[in-house]
Structure 1
Amino acid sequence: MRGGRWRTVGRGLGRVVAVWAVSTLTMLVLAGILPDFKLQSDDGDSATRIAVTAALGAGAFGLLSALVWPLLVRALLLVPALVIGLLTFFLNGSLLLLALRLIPDGRGDANAETAVVVAAVMSAVASATGGALAVRDDDAYRRRLYRLADRRRRR
């Protein structure tokens, strides 16, 4: 049994690292495409420094999303679905702006509209990556089945 737990933890950790890496690459690509989104100081930085800034930004955005969204979902259960759909984009943009502010030396910056676009693309890419990595994961499938069964029992 112990080997199975370590294997499960290893797979979960590998999935987190893979999503973080893809999110970092997404952030780098978006910083190259969008003129209002930057990951470097005004003086210019080395490619390594820009990559570290992207990794820090993607990590902070991922952590903030993981910590804040469950609380927000519970708080917003009474809000109509259409409002939640629109609010999601703005809240993700706000989380990205906060994540960029957490990067040392003020290297990350975006205006509000660009932050909403970057956050939406990063969230979509991270969700797709996490879903693709969980496709052949029997433990993830089993957890989904347990959650569904638990929901049906509660009704």
Structure 2
Amino acid sequence: MSSAVRRAGRRAGERWQEVVVPWAAGTLTMLVLAGALPDFRLQSADGESATRVAITAALGAGAFGLLSAVVWPLLVRAMLLVPALVLGLLVFFLNGSLLLIALALIPVGSGAAEPETAVVVAAAMSAASSAAGASVALRDDGAYRRRLARLAG
């Protein structure tokens, strides 16, 4: 096997980690917060199996991640005109809104949250996913180079 093929395989593995590790961190955060916060649930009132709750959390975290990846770059450009103080508060509101939309999009499970709880859950999920993604990127020279190229471009 040539070294170019090995490098390509290694890069694919590193890219895979950049997606899966933050998604897993978001899923775990969602599960923990569903158990800790009374206004946030991932199951119906009569209860559901642990597997169904875990699937609901994984799909919710995935939908939240996808919405964040698509919506945030557009919003950041639009918010360049918004004052900094308002922007700081608006970020929490928008993240909570994205979580509520993600929970509504899940085809299985019965995820629900009060709006103020959605803000807390979304902030915790974002922090956990960002920390997990950063830990993966720290070990990846390619991620550092891609970030520098994005900043330079």
TM-score by length of 2: 0.92
Match of 2:134 among 128, 131, 135: 131
Superposition deviation, residue 106 in structure 1: 5.7
Mean Cα deviation higher: 5-14 or 59-68: 5-14
For the structure 1 residues 137 and 105, does the alpha-carbon distance in structure 2 shift closer, same or farther, using more than 3 Å as the test? Answer: closer
Q: Quick one: distance in 2 between partners of 1:106 and 1:83?
A: 35
- Could you tell me which runs of 5 or more consecutive residues in structure 2 were left unpaired when the two chains were aligned: none
Q: Which runs of 4+ in 1 moved over 3 A?
A: none
Matched, 1:93 2:117: no
Match of 2:81 among 58, 78, 81: 78
How many pairs were matched up? 150
Superposition deviation, residue 97 in structure 1: 0.2
- Tell me the C-alpha RMSD between the 2 structures: 1.3
Q: Quick one: distance in 2 between partners of 1:82 and 1:134?
A: 30
Percent identity between the aligned chains? 69
Q: Quick one: distance in 1 between partners of 2:79 and 2:36?
A: 34
Corresponding residue of 2:116: 113
Query: Are 2:25 and 2:132, in contact at CA under 8 Å, matched by a contact in 1?
Result: yes
Superimposed CA distance per residue, residues 52-72 of structure 1 (whole angstroms, 9 cap, x where no aligned partner): 010010000000000100000
SS state of the match for residue 76, structure 1? Answer: helix
Matched, 1:36 2:39: yes
Q: Quick one: distance in 1 between partners of 2:131 and 2:75?
A: 22
Superposition deviation, residue 18 in structure 1: 1.3
Higher relative contact order (CA 8 A, sep 6+): 2
- Could you tell me which runs of 5 or more consecutive residues in structure 1 were left unpaired when the two chains were aligned: none
Q: Which amino acid aligns with 1:85?
A: G
TM-score by length of 1: 0.91
